[in-house]
Amino acid sequence: MKIGFIGLGNMGLPMARNLHDAGHEVTGFDTAQVEAPFPLAGSASAAAAGAEVVITMLPNGKILRIVAEEVIPAMPDGAVLLDCSTVDVESARAVAEDAAKAGLGALDAPVSGGIGGAQGGTLTFMVGGTEEAFARAKPLFDIMGQKAVHCGPSGNGQAAKICNNMILGATMIVTCEAFALADRLGLDRQALFDVVSTSSGASWSVNSYCPAPGIGPASPADNGYAPGFAAELMLKDLGLAMEAADSVTADTPMGRAAFELYRTFVDEEDGKGRDFSAMLPRFERRNGG
């Protein structure tokens, strides 16, 4: 396929590289200077011109709307605008509506798996949009990731992402609380892990991404909490979840509590630039550790 790829940051560049390495004709664009193994265009519209699929990986919904306004007129009839950013549901649906009016397909397909998943082609895509557009993009999902789930109409990919990460944010906090409590009670961390990881308290935060250094599989905790998934990105996703909850008057007290804790951690403490699992040393300090 001829692909335009807009947004060549830590996630976008390796995703685009994987498509290029698989034999697709990729033209990229980013506002920052980057080095890539494929041609770079001078503008987003130039990267999109004539492309069968235009993929975007952008910071937020406002920028997505600006880029979509530029690239939609440059795309040929029947092409697909595939947005892999994590943005608000409203922006995703507005961009999809504009694309449909121009005779284009549109997919919102935020990802899970982080930079390592982007580099290794093992991302999970949560996809909203039509069945037809999903089928056209499926070969690209198979290159960039290990799984793509069609979640329904436009906006539902973003809805799935923020619901998933609301669960993740809350479970990571309570996991960190539990390890800090175990310390105060004199319970060995390895013993706690051995119990919880095979009992009813098991979760991805415990079993696969344990916030305690030296416990369980290797995780950012074993690297000084250098971010695999930065705390400020978790704060962004929890903020999107709270915006969505407010828009439909959903009651999400645990999600809101997680949002407030991460807001404090990032904005008022030392969370910025650290992994979201660095909540554990935060609770250690607060417990006098």
Q: How many angstroms separate the CA atoms of 280 and 199, rounded?
A: 21
Position 255: which residue type?
Answer: G
Q: Is 161 a catalytic residue?
A: yes
Q: How many angstroms separate the CA atoms of 183 and 186, rounded?
A: 5
Catalytic residue among 2, 138, 147, 161: 161
Position 95: which residue type?
Answer: V
Q: How many angstroms separate the CA atoms of 49 and 34, rounded?
A: 20
- 8 Å CB contact between 231 and 258: no
**Which residues are part of the catalytic machinery?**
161
